[in-house]
Structure formats: C-alpha cells, structure tokens
Amino acid sequence: MTFSALNTLLAQATPSNQPAPPAGQGLEQLLKGPLPMLVLMVVVFYFILIRPQQKKTKEHEQLLKTLKP
C-alpha cells in the first residue's frame, strides 16, 4: 500500500462519536502506576538486606569493644 492510498483511506475514515474516557485523577492515577510497587521493593530491600547488615555490624563492634583491653 502506498502512502497516498493510506492517506486517502485515513481521510475517508469517520471519527467516532464516543467521547474520550475521562483522565484519571491525580492520586488515583499515581496509585495505579508503578510507584507503589517500587516503594514496596525498596521497603523489602531495606528489611531483608540493609537492616540485618546494620545489626550485624553493631554486634561486631560490641564484640571488638569487649576484646580490647
């Protein structure tokens, strides 16, 4: 199909009479997006990896303090 044939076909198409769906409201649209999943991943990452490592480091420092004369 050539460009001019495609252009003619599109020019003859009738526009739909149905209105466009309303745009989502600010917070509602935000909560349906990827942001909540990203926040959940950060929280899980913190509690599974970062927090235990901080606790282990703190225990290690306490052990070193008890060993030094």
Decide if 35 contacts 27 (C-beta within 8 A).
Answer: no
- What would the pLDDT profile of 1-35 be if each residue is shown by its tens digit? 677 887 787 777 666 677 765 666 677 777 788 88
Helices (H), the chain: 3-12, 26-32, 35-45, 51-67
Alpha carbon distance 62, 64 (integer Å) = 5
Q: Which residue range forms the structural domain that includes residue 45?
A: 39-69
48 domain-assigned: yes
pLDDT value for 23: 63
Nearest alpha-carbon partner for 55 in 43, 46, 67:
46
pLDDT value for 24: 60
9 domain-assigned: no
Average pLDDT over residues 42-50: 95
Please give the tally of structural domains in the chain.
1
Nearest alpha-carbon partner for 49 in 57, 60, 38, 59:
57
With a cut of 90, say whether residue 55 has pLDDT above it.
Answer: yes
